[in-house]
Structure 1
Amino acid sequence: MKLSAFADVCLRTVMVLGAPGAGQLTSREIADLVSVPYNHVTKAVLELRTLGVLDVVRGRNGGASITQTGLQTSVGALLRTLDKREDVVDCTDHDANGNCPLAGGCRLRGALRAAREAFYAALDPLTIQEICETSPAITLLPFPTVRRSA
């Protein structure tokens, strides 16, 4: 199973903000920490704010911080929400009408959906807080020396 690039950026963002003592960080600071373009992090922060995972303060002393709800969010549940794809495989554009000739009796699509659900189910027991607390890589990140409190 491959995560979308957007889901990957969202996970990196919540892992950085969920790090013990991370506090409030700007999108630029997050982008620098996770080596992702600023505009991608900005979109991720907006979506995560909409989902209630992050609090965002605008302005000169603004930034994003993870909410208590965000810390308790299941990794599997978050990925399900972020995954906008209907199917794991694209069953269009195979003939002149844009349909796969096997679509009518294909059992593969159902099996792949079940496999995707099993992937998410394996991540359901993990919370954002748990992956942040147990990830040694997070403690090695060069957080900005001057951090704003949340």
Structure 2
Amino acid sequence: MRLTSFTDYGLRILMRLAAQSGQVLSTAELASDLHLSRNHLSKIVQHLSRHGIVVTQRGGGGGAALALPADQVRLGDVVRLLEDGQPLVECFAAGGGECSLDGCCRLKSRLRHAEARFLDDLNRSTMADIALKKTEMA
């Protein structure tokens, strides 16, 4: 399984915010820490904000912070949110894609089960478990 860079960076942003729980971090600071463009980082933060994972503040002293305590933000839920619209395989896409085995494929149900187990396993951990402190960043 491969996660999109959107999800990868979203998790990194949340790991950093979880380490500073209750504090607002500027997008400039986050972008610098994570070696991301501010534009790309802002898109990810906006997506997380629209879904209630982070809160944002504009202006001086503005930035982003976790909307919930880090121990209430489950990894599997975050990955599911960030990977929404990115099917594991083509036949999981809306409309079923171009599968030539549709109707006789015995792989699809196994892949759906594996994907569900993967997300369930990730949900055993929270952002508090993987919080990344600035001093740990290379």
User: What is the Cα deviation at residue 138 of structure 1?
Assistant: 4.8
Mapping for residues 93-104 of structure 1, pairs under 5 Å? 99-104=98-103
- Closer, same or farther: CA 49–86 of 1 in aligned 2, 3 Å: closer
Question: In 2, distance between residues paired with 1:74 and 1:56?
Answer: 20
- Equivalent residue number for residue 139 of structure 1: 135
SS at match of 1:118: helix
Percent identical: 33
Relative to the length of structure 1, the TM-score reads: 0.77
User: What is the Cα deviation at residue 40 of structure 1?
Assistant: 1.6
Residues 18 and 127 of structure 2 are in contact (CA less than 8 Å); yes or no, is this contact kept in structure 1?
yes
RMSD: 2.4
SS at match of 1:64: strand
Residues 53 and 69 of structure 1 are in contact (CA less than 8 Å); yes or no, is this contact kept in structure 2?
no
- Closer, same or farther: CA 43–86 of 1 in aligned 2, 3 Å: closer
SS at match of 1:121: helix
Residues 74 and 127 of structure 1 are in contact (CA less than 8 Å); yes or no, is this contact kept in structure 2?
yes
Question: In 1, distance between residues paired with 2:64 and 2:30?
Answer: 9
**Structure 2, unaligned runs of 5 or more:** none
User: What is the Cα deviation at residue 123 of structure 1?
Assistant: 0.8
**Structure 1, unaligned runs of 5 or more:** 93-97, 143-150
| Alignment size in residue pairs | 134
- Equivalent residue number for residue 2 of structure 1: 2
Residues 31 and 37 of structure 2 are in contact (CA less than 8 Å); yes or no, is this contact kept in structure 1?
yes
Structure 1 runs (4+) greater than 6 angstroms displaced: none
User: What is the Cα deviation at residue 106 of structure 1?
Assistant: 0.9
Question: In 2, distance between residues paired with 1:70 and 1:20?
Answer: 10
Mapping for residues 61-72 of structure 1, pairs under 5 Å? 61-69=61-69, 71-72=71-72
Q: Deviations over 1:27-86 (max 9, x none)?
A: 121111112222221011101111222121101221111123454111011111222136
Question: In 2, distance between residues paired with 1:141 and 1:89?
Answer: 33
Relative to the length of structure 2, the TM-score reads: 0.83
Pair 1:109-2:105 in alignment = no
SS at match of 1:76: helix
Question: In 2, distance between residues paired with 1:101 and 1:129?
Answer: 44
Mapping for residues 41-80 of structure 1, pairs under 5 Å? 41-69=41-69, 71-80=71-80
- Closer, same or farther: CA 108–86 of 1 in aligned 2, 3 Å: farther
